[in-house]
Amino acid sequence: MDVDWLRAETPGTEHRIHLNNAGAALMSRRTLAAMTEQLQLEAEIGGYEALDRVADRVEATYAGMARLLGARREEIALFDNSTHAWNAAFYAVPFRPGDRILTTRAEYGSSVLAYLQVARRTGAELVVVPNDEHGSVDVAALAELVDERTKLIGLTWVPTFGGLVNPAAEVGRIARSAGALYLVDATQAVGQFPVDVTEVGADLLTGTARKFLRGPRGTGFLYVRTEVLDRLDPAVVEIAAATWDGGRGFRWAEGARRFETWERSGVNLAGFGAAVDQALELGLDAIGTRALGLGARLRDQLAALPKVATHDQGTDRCAIVTATVDGMPAEEARAALAASGINTTVTVPEDDPLDTEDRGLPALLRLSPHYYNTEAELDRAVEVIAGL
Ligand SMILES: Cc1ncc(COP(=O)(O)O)c(C=O)c1O
């Protein structure tokens, strides 16, 4: 990987040390150019006309996303964020009283709220599977808990609050053998390391382009395995998702597009497509090797500092590193790093309620390098933290 060239193609690297790729990664010149061109076209010929003009490129975005995930093009729906994609999948499951939703302690805050609401509304029961001694979902406990009442298993592959990589494929095998729907939140996984929906055994998988895929904000996607479509009833319907039959009925759109909305941002779609193409060209194996290597290096460096503790769980970890600095709230540490030109963020307990219930951790400083960061940038961040 030619890191110097990749940095030259990433304008943001000139001014900041960007260690907030789990928030939103820096876009490349190519992505920026695709979006700027689309915006210009919208201004010149009109927003609807501009989207029509690039219809082929929009289709190529579906095809690229499908290639990235090892899926079929008709199994991809595009959204404006990951939560909306996840909601589209989750709220389409027809839960009944007595059904069970099995999930893990790593779930994202919005998903936990949705589980609670749907359980209250439908009489389904929410069961939170315990972690093993390393902090990953306990696969043996999950296998014990699964039975014919299990309608859905929801798993966050990589949580927002740490470097944990949950054993998504092992969970997928359990879900498949139980006949339960398997919904994977891959928001922090896609773009960071290889993701193959067949290997994972996902029926439904969600994410965004703005994080490790390096696309723009305002983007999301949902993968729906063709074979589970008839077990789902989308919670809402609109003119992109279905066609009026002329009488008192309608027909769903083919494949995953029945979950989409009609209105969409051509500018964001242009950036989404460019970012996917770039990830495919670089290759997710190479991206994953470098990103995870930088994550491990940074974690080791921080853990070696006397006043710092790291909090990433699991035996399998990624490029998200969380830390606390003795005697200093995470927000103060973040602000001090920002004042030195280093972007990081803070994860708060509300982002991950079930993990908070378990570990009771305070807000954490989160650092998330990506393949275009350098070792020298990590050293500089560690130096600033050491001096706090
Ligand atoms: C694991 C995980 N799931 C879901 C989300 C929500 O994504 P979005 O903000 O695109 O809705 C996030 C955002 O940080 C996340 O980290």
Give me the DSSP letters along 143-210.
Answer: HHH--TTEEEEEEESS-TTSSB---HHHHHHHHHHHT-EEEEE-TTTBTTB---HHHHT-SEEEE-SS
Tell me, in angstroms, the distance from the centre of ligand 1 to residue 351's CA. 9
The rounded distance, in Å, linking the Cα atoms of 298 and 350 is 25
The rounded distance, in Å, linking the Cα atoms of 190 and 108 is 16
Tell me, in angstroms, the distance from the centre of ligand 1 to residue 334's CA. 20
The residue contributing the CA closest to ligand 1 atom 16 is 160
* Ligand 1 atom closest to Cα of residue 210: 10
Name the strand (E) or helix (H) holding 85.
helix 82-90
Sorted by sequence, the CB contacts under 8 Å of residue 326 that are 6+ apart come out as 307, 308, 309
pLDDT (tens, 9 = 90+) of the chain, 388 residues, equals 999 999 999 999 999 999 999 999 999 999 999 999 999 999 999 999 999 999 999 999 999 999 999 999 999 999 999 999 999 999 999 999 999 999 999 999 999 999 999 999 999 999 999 999 999 999 999 999 999 999 999 999 999 999 999 999 999 999 999 999 999 999 999 999 999 999 999 999 999 999 999 999 999 999 999 999 999 999 999 999 999 999 999 999 999 999 999 999 999 999 999 999 999 999 999 999 999 999 999 999 999 999 999 999 999 999 999 999 999 999 999 999 999 999 999 999 999 999 988 888 999 999 999 999 999 999 999 999 999 9
Tell me, in angstroms, the distance from the centre of ligand 1 to residue 83's CA. 6
DSSP summary character for residue 327: T
> Using a 6 Å CB cutoff, which residues line ligand 1?
81-83, 108, 156, 159-160, 185, 187-188, 208, 220
At 343, list the tokens.
């972007």
Sorted by sequence, the CB contacts under 8 Å of residue 66 that are 6+ apart come out as 72, 73, 75, 76
User: Which tens digits make up the pLDDT trace of 204-261?
Assistant: 999 999 999 999 999 999 999 999 999 999 999 999 999 999 999 999 999 999 999 9
* Ligand 1 atom closest to Cα of residue 208: 10
* Cα–Cα distances in angstroms (integers) from residue 324 to residues 88, 92, 109, 221, 363, in the given order: 35, 39, 21, 33, 8
The residue contributing the CA closest to ligand 1 atom 7 is 82
pTM of the complete model: 0.98
Strand runs (DSSP E) across 220-376, as ranges? 220-224, 242-244, 250-252, 308-310, 321-325, 342-343, 345-347, 364-367
At 301, list the tokens.
């460096």
User: Which tens digits make up the pLDDT trace of 291-315?
Assistant: 999 999 999 999 999 999 999 999 9
The distance from CA 15 to its chain's CA centroid, rounded to whole angstroms, is 26
Tell me, in angstroms, the distance from the centre of ligand 1 to residue 40's CA. 30
Q: Looking up tokens 């990081």, which residue turns up?
A: 344
Tell me, in angstroms, the distance from the centre of ligand 1 to residue 82's CA. 6
Q: How many CB atoms lie within 10 A of CB 233?
A: 12
Contact 205, 85 (CB under 8 A): no
* Ligand 1 atom closest to Cα of residue 158: 1
The residue contributing the CA closest to ligand 1 atom 8 is 82
Tell me, in angstroms, the distance from the centre of ligand 1 to residue 331's CA. 20
Q: φ and ψ at 220, to 5 degrees? A: -160, 165
Map residue 251 onto helix, strand or coil.
strand
The rounded distance, in Å, linking the Cα atoms of 324 and 310 is 7
How would you class 8 by CB atoms within 10 Å of its CB: exposed for 0-12, middle for 13-18, buried for 19 or more? middle
Tell me, in angstroms, the distance from the centre of ligand 1 to residue 177's CA. 28
Identify which of 108, 115, 155, 345 to mutate to test ligand 1's pocket (most ligand atoms within 8 A of the CB): 108
